[in-house]
Amino acid sequence: MRPIRLAAVMAVFAFPAYAENVYDFAAHSGQHRTFAATLQATGIDRALGNRGPYTIFAPTDAAFSRLSDLGDLMRPDHREELVELLTCHMAPTQALAATLQPGQTRVVRTVGGCTLTMQRVGDEVMLRSAGGQSQRIAAADLQQSNGVVHVIDMLILPES
């Protein structure tokens, strides 16, 4: 019998088990308030209410706190830059971590034109951007009515 990891148990209690859609997950998780607010400010929240399927790499509030110019990005004259940033966190497909075998990778192309690589390393799934950012997915495969959410603690920056 495999021992249950504390992190896995914490993930179950830290996030809503099932939300109406991928946007509602962000809006109600308690750890994605900034992500939800930026989606709402750009109108992307309405698009994420559509049928899908979507894969959302949902950055935590802590990830947004490391962005020094968030206040500027929230201004109406910077809407295009904010949309570009946000759409690097969403793909028009369902990319499940559970389908990856150890060492296997999956390339995910986002709506914003970013190329991400998911890779299973032991019991964890890593996410790497084309720009070289890499981090463990904190909570993977959180199924919603129109897609799947993966919780990350980084912002995926648009490729230059």
Going from N- to C-terminal start, the domains of the chain cover 6-96+138-152
Judged against a pLDDT cut of 80, whether residue 129 lies above it is answered with yes
User: pTM for this structure?
Assistant: 0.86
Of 52, 57, 58, nearest in space to 21 by CA: 52
Rounded distance between C-alpha atoms, residue 55 and residue 57, angstroms: 7
Q: What is the largest CA-CA distance in the chain?
A: 56
Query: Does 103 have pLDDT greater than 60?
Result: yes
pLDDT of amino acid 97:
96
Q: Which of 71, 90, 101 is nearest to 152 (CA)?
A: 90
Residues 6-57 pLDDT 10s: 343 334 335 555 558 999 999 999 999 999 999 999 999 999 989 989 999 9
How is domain 6-96+138-152 classified at the architecture level of CATH? Roll (2.30)
Distance CA 97, CA 83 (A): 26
Residue at token pair 């070289």: 132
